[in-house]
Amino acid sequence: MDDQPPPYTSSNFHDDVQHHLVTAAVEALSQTKLEWHQVAPLLKAARAMCGDDIRAARVALHGLEYEGAELVPADEAYLSMNVRDREDGSEWLSQTWWLSDIALADEDPERIRCVISAMERSIDKLKEWLSAKDEAADKAETPPTPSD
The residue ranking higher by pLDDT, 49 or 11, is 49
Q: Residue 76's pLDDT is what?
A: 96
List the domain boundaries for the chain.
51-99, 106-138
Q: Residue 44's pLDDT is what?
A: 86
pLDDT tens profile 23-53? 887 787 778 777 888 878 888 888 887 888 8
Q: Residue 112's pLDDT is what?
A: 96
pLDDT tens profile 49-107? 788 888 889 999 999 999 999 999 999 999 999 988 887 888 888 999 999 999 999 99
Q: Residue 123's pLDDT is what?
A: 96
Are 93 and 83 in contact, with CB atoms under 8 Å apart? yes
The sign of the dihedral angle between the CA atoms of 144, 145, 146, 148 is: negative
User: Could you write out the three-class secondary structure of 61-116?
Assistant: EEEEEEECCEEEEEEEEEEEEEEECCCCCCEEEEEEEEHHHHHHCCCCHHHHHHHH
